[in-house]
């Protein structure tokens, strides 16, 4: 089982779109068993998978507050083709609720470990959609995860802020040795824009082998799909957005199939 956090504390860079469509590609095309955990009080990944976030009987907040077990909040086989542990605005107060809890960063990791012991938690991939912050929720994701995919938009301030995320990842390596950046994916890419091309080249320089070859194009279809509670594969499977997320899935699976090669790349690039 591989646990991947999709994170970037910058807002609106395509985290949720990437988490939902990567999860869908892995499930629908890759035939993998996939769980998507929504760790954002906005609940966008929950909605994007076709669930009504305001109608959730139990959600991830109940797991973090130790009121229920992870497998009890999982909605099986959603319209988007994978299982979902949903979230909604009930999650917004979690920072306050956990302020006195000593093992607050470890709650999700513990919940996943407990679920694994039950024997019914048999996913190939667990994808976590993070909120645009480095709050206790994102810290929980980064403590539970094996690695991180960072979506980035090719715009002027793209690299600003990523330094903080990378710094957080470095610090959390002290408690989660395995944690590293799996890859950086360029999102909402507009190939006609010179600025986008320049920033893309800058990202290639900075991240080298850690930059996925696949670039996600700007596509209206990708933005429309969540309003139908569908992934791009359910909404328009021949669109350029679907083709791009399929290609990204191939790269992600290749990393899983060739862990040695992938780890060598990580080491060659940074000491992450
Ligand atoms: P937040 O930080 O608020 O959680 P996010 O990083 O999860 O945001 P998304 O919600 O995935 O970002 O995307 C932000 C907006 O851009 C959404 O309206 C989404 O539909 C749209 N969007 C994402 N990717 C694309 C794309 N490739 N082409 C066009 N629109 C996109
Ligand atoms: Mg989001």
**Is the CB of 44 inside a 6 Å radius of any atom of ligand 1?**
yes
Burial (CB count within 10 angstroms: exposed 0-12, middle 13-18, buried 19+), residue 19: buried
Ligand whose nearest atom lies closest to the CA of 18? 1
Tell the residue nearest (CA) to atom 11 of ligand 1: 14
Instruction: Return the sign of the alpha-carbon dihedral for residues 160, 162, 166, 169.
Output: positive
Q: Has this prediction a pTM greater than 0.85?
A: yes
**Is the CB of 216 inside a 6 Å radius of any atom of ligand 1?**
yes
Extents of the domains making up the chain: 2-270
Ligand whose nearest atom lies closest to the CA of 46? 2
**Is the CB of 222 inside a 6 Å radius of any atom of ligand 1?**
yes
CB 81, CB 28: distance < 8 Å:
yes
Work out the angle at residue 34's Cα, subtended by the Cα atoms of residues 32 and 37, and round it to the nearest 5 degrees: 165
Mean pLDDT by 10 residues, the chain (272 residues): 96 97 98 98 98 96 96 94 97 94 96 92 97 94 95 87 84 88 95 93 90 97 97 98 98 91 70 54
Continuous segment of H or E residues that includes residue 174: none
Q: What is the pLDDT of residue 261?
A: 76
Q: What is the pLDDT of residue 270?
A: 63
**Is the CB of 225 inside a 6 Å radius of any atom of ligand 1?**
no
Looking at residue 219, the DSSP 8-state letter turns out to be -
Whether domain 2-270 has CATH 3.40.50.720? no
Q: What is the pLDDT of residue 209?
A: 87
């Amino acid at each position: 089982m591989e646990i991947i956090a999709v994170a970037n504390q910058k807002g609106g860079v395509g985290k949720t779109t990437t988490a939902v469509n990567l999860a869908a590609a892995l499930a629908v095309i890759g035939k993998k068993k996939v769980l998507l955990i929504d760790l954002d009080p906005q609940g966008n990944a929950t909605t994007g998978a076709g669930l009504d976030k305001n109608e959730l009987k139990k959600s991830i907040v109940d797991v973090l507050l130790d009121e229920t077990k992870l497998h009890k909040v999982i909605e099986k086989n959603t319209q988007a083709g994978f299982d979902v542990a949903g979230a909604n605005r009930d999650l917004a107060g979690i920072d306050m609720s956990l302020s006195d809890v000593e093992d607050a960063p470890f709650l999700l990791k513990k919940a996943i470990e407990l679920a694994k012991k039950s024997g019914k938690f048999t996913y190939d991939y667990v994808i976590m959609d993070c909120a645009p912050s480095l709050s206790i929720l994102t810290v929980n994701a980064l403590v539970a995860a094996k690695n991180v995919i960072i979506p980035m938009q090719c715009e002027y301030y793209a690299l600003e802020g990523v330094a903080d995320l990378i710094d957080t990842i470095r610090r959390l390596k002290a408690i989660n040795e395995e944690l590293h950046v799996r890859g950086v994916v360029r999102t909402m890419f507009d190939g006609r824009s010179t600025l986008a091309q320049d920033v893309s080249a800058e990202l290639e320089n900075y991240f080298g082998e850690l930059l996925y070859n696949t670039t996600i194009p700007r596509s209206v279809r990708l933005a429309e799909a969540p309003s139908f509670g569908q992934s791009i594969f359910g909404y328009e499977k021949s669109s350029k957005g679907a083709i791009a997320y399929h290609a990204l899935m191939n790269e992600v699976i290749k990393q899983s199939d060739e862990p040695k090669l992938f780890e060598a790349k990580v080491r060659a690039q940074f000491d992450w």
